[in-house]
């Protein structure tokens, strides 16, 4: 089983060695690792070259000429630029963050499930690792799929994603249809999940966890997975700043104009009353997690002034 791992790095010198070593130590698979550094200014790129230059047959270390501005953009640009010949050498493609640690059987178990379940996208739960508090807990993402969940949420953290070549080729095709560099709040994991679902590709959601998902001061997205006042405040801030409006309008461009999904987006973004209609009409078919669905309902039905 040959797996190509795409790792997006930026100012990750403090933790990246542990992550890379855990990827290279994967059992039961042959791993190729492509690292795309987004113009780090903390010495990350030079460290990578010095530390891993002797493993060039297994690792490619590349530096973006112009910063993409976010990990999500970095991942999409990497996929866009990967040659099809390189893709064909591998059975599966996976995303990796720069500051986690993978358990040794992560890729093998994902590949096995993709094969036995005849799926094109795999994702799983995670182990939330709070270094400051020295605690570990489960981040559950293995909720059952709902009919329209992909319209308002992604699958899991992108670092759990493992994909078939079929899905990667679709992602490369869709990348040319969007201006992801200027798409505010763009999410690569949501984008990939959206493409898989709208193309009727099978998704396998694993209730196991194979990643130590590290939480630290510099991990902005990781902090949003904690049950803290900061996380609640940041989520509310995103919604008020038009998070769902911006995502809806971006994804709307990828849908057939007369589709049910396009109509849901149009009604959601039209005005307060049509947004309420969408919430009441489709309710629990919009989110996999019941708790998250209730939060989504409350925040969207509240008479908040939302930027659009």
Task: Tell whether the model's pLDDT for residue 182 goes beyond 80.
Answer: yes
* pLDDT 10s digits, 66-110: 999 999 999 999 999 999 999 999 999 999 999 999 999 999 999
> How large a percentage of the chain has pLDDT more than 70?
91
**Torsion sign across C-alpha atoms 135, 139, 140, 142:** negative
> Binning pLDDT at 50, 70 and 90, where does residue 216 land?
low
Output the pLDDT for position 308. 61
Name which residue leads in pLDDT, 25 or 292. Answer: 25
Q: Let me know: does 93 contact 163? Beta carbons within 8 Å.
A: yes
pTM of the model: 0.92
Least confident of 61-65, 178-182, 241-245: 241-245
Ordered DSSP codes for 241-308: TTHHHHHHHHHHTTS-TTSHHHHHHHHHHH-HHHHHHHHHHHGGGS-SSHHHHHHHHHHHHS------
Output the pLDDT for position 305. 60
Average pLDDT, integer, range 107-121: 98
Output the pLDDT for position 261. 97
Average pLDDT, integer, range 254-264: 96
Distance (Å, whole) CA 207 – CA 6: 23
Output the pLDDT for position 258. 94
* pLDDT 10s digits, 76-87: 999 999 999 999
* pLDDT 10s digits, 4-18: 999 999 999 999 999
Name which residue leads in pLDDT, 23 or 130. Answer: 23
> How large a percentage of the chain has pLDDT more than 90?
78
Distance (Å, whole) CA 217 – CA 189: 22
Question: Using alpha carbons only, what angle is made at residue 128 by residues 51 and 115, rounded to the nearest 5 degrees?
Answer: 75
> Binning pLDDT at 50, 70 and 90, where does residue 227 land?
very low
């Amino acid at each position: 089983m040959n797996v190509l791992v795409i790792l997006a790095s930026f100012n990750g010198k403090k933790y990246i060695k542990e992550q890379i070593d855990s990827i290279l130590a994967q059992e039961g698979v042959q791993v190729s690792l492509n690292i795309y550094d987004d113009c780090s200014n903390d010495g990350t790129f030079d460290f990578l070259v010095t530390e891993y230059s002797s493993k060039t047959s297994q690792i490619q270390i590349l530096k973006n000429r112009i910063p993409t501005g976010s990990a999500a953009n970095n991942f999409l640009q990497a996929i866009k630029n990967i040659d099809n010949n390189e893709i064909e050498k591998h059975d599966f493609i996976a995303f990796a963050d720069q500051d986690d640690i993978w358990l040794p059987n992560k890729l093998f178990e994902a590949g096995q499930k993709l094969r036995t379940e005849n799926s094109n996208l795999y994702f799983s739960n995670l182990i939330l690792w709070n270094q400051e508090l020295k605690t570990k807990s489960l981040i559950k993402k293995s909720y059952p799929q709902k009919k329209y969940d992909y319209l308002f949420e992604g699958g899991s953290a992108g670092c759990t994603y493992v994909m078939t070549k079929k899905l990667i080729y679709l992602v490369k095709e869709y990348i040319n249809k969007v201006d992801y560099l200027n798409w505010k709040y763009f999410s690569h994991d949501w984008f990939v999940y959206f493409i898989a679902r709208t193309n009727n590709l099978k998704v396998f959601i694993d209730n196991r966890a194979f990643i130590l998902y590290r939480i630290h001061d510099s991990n902005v997205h990781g902090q949003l997975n904690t049950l803290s006042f900061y996380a609640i405040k940041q989520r509310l801030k995103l919604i008020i700043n038009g998070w769902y409006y911006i995502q809806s309008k971006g994804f709307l461009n990828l849908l057939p104009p007369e589709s049910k999904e396009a109509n849901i987006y149009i009604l959601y973004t039209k005005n307060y009353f049509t947004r309420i209609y969408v919430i009441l009409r489709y309710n629990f078919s919009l989110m996999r997690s019941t708790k998250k669905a209730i939060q989504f309902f409350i925040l969207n039905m509240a008479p908040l002034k939302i930027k659009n």
